[in-house]
Amino acid sequence: MVAEIRRMDEKGSGQAVIWRDTEHGNQKKLRLTIPQTLLGEKVRVTVDKPERRRRKALVEEILEANPERTAPPCPHFEKCGGCVWQHWDYQGQLKHKTAHVREAIEAQGFNPELVLDTIGMEDPWHYRNKMEFTFSPDGSLGLHEQGNFRKIISLETCLIAGKEMVEAALEVAKWVKDHELTGYNKNLHEGLLRHLMVRQSFATGEIMLALFATEGPEGHLQNAADDLVNRITEKFPQVKSLMWLENTDWADRTQSEKSHTLAGRDFIYDEMDGYRFRLWFDTFFQTNPTQAQKLVDLAVEMGKPVKTEKMIDLFCGVGTFSLPFANRVGKLAGIEIVETSIESAKRNAKDNGIDNTYFLAKDARKGIDEVLETFGTPELLLLDPPRSGAGGKVMRRIGRSQPERIVYVSCNPDTFATDIKELEPFGYTLEKVQPVDLFPHTFHVECVALLVKKSQ
């Protein structure tokens, strides 16, 4: 079958519609999802089970290529699910991300011309400061196959992770093979090693290695654990935290029931915008520090904080935005439902000598009510919700609280657009939207937007 790619889906694959003849002599529409294709391309595909209306198809031959198609540099690209757009010229990726944000807000009735061109990276490689690798049952270390979370692609390199992170991960992979350790089998729920988390501060150079296993490092594993410590400390002096974390839960997540610090501390130091942060294995922190700094700069530029003003930072996490703003406003209240993040935010504020902050571990909507009672209506409100967005109830609560200016930091243009639509009845206008590319070679795009009360 020949298909023409008409759009890209939310996972970065091309989509096409073709018509097929049925045994009754009529035609039926077949919707195809075709990975590793680009807009406008004509491709020959094979479709298994064509009687179904929606199918995934694999490319046999590219008949007409998009002029922005390029050769992917990573040897794992065709199979690995880590990044899906290495075959797309970087400038083409940026143009598509801008178009995506414009389409999302236009669908909600906003002017798409308010969206500026996406800010990209000078060097869109080796930008990630955190990676989570997975062990296959035979002990091989790698990343999930595209669209298949049961199969692991063995790691030889990773072009989006920091180079030292990859070198450290490969050393752990060699250690596993040398000691003939098993990986976790998700089907049988047996085996030892589940994941390896690697995170590095590009500012301080410090690295954390966190090994997730179904049992602790004592007993029959003590010799192997000691050897791991010797290898890592000898070859990677920048590793300041080597952790062994026990996880016996059936859920396939990097979580811990019991932690063992094999070497160094149980956290590493990172910096952003001149502020120091402590990062534990489960701390959420922006994974592209170069572009995250641009998010902070844009938020400050749009928010125009003033020393006499009050501010709320909603979904504040560990204080990534709170600390830079706290030094520019009179009082700042941070709200976050994850208690460990709030404890980290308090500690980070103390570490940086900031004493005008109030951090509250509470659901966003209830947290706003409590903060408003504590210090009144803020002039400035910033929110940085998860991909699912803040939701209508939270957005309407923000609207009723009537801050003069709202800065919305989003990692999902579609939920962002539906969220800000909720603010219109409360007298807010959208001033501008600046997309920022934090994840080159993937379909994700972040944006920073400013909304202002009409009376302002």
- Residues known to be catalytic: 411
Which residues, 6+ apart, have CB-to-CB distance to 188 below 8 Å?
none
Q: In what order do the strands lie in the sheet with 42-46?
A: 2-4, 42-46, 58-64
Task: Tell me the C-alpha to C-alpha distance, in Å, between residue 40 and each of 54, 66, 346.
Answer: 20, 6, 51
Which residues, 6+ apart, have CB-to-CB distance to 272 below 8 Å?
203, 286, 289, 292, 293, 296, 320
The CA distance from 314 to 22, in Å, is: 54
CB neighbour class for 126 (10 Å; exposed up to 12, middle 13-18, buried from 19): middle
Kind and range of the H or E element at 174? helix 163-178
Backbone phi and psi for residue 279, each to the nearest 5 degrees, phi listed first? -120, 120
Q: Which residues pair with 268 in a beta bridge?
A: 279
Instruction: Give the Cα-Cα-Cα angle 21, 24, 27 (nearest 5 degrees).
Output: 30
The CA distance from 427 to 133, in Å, is: 47
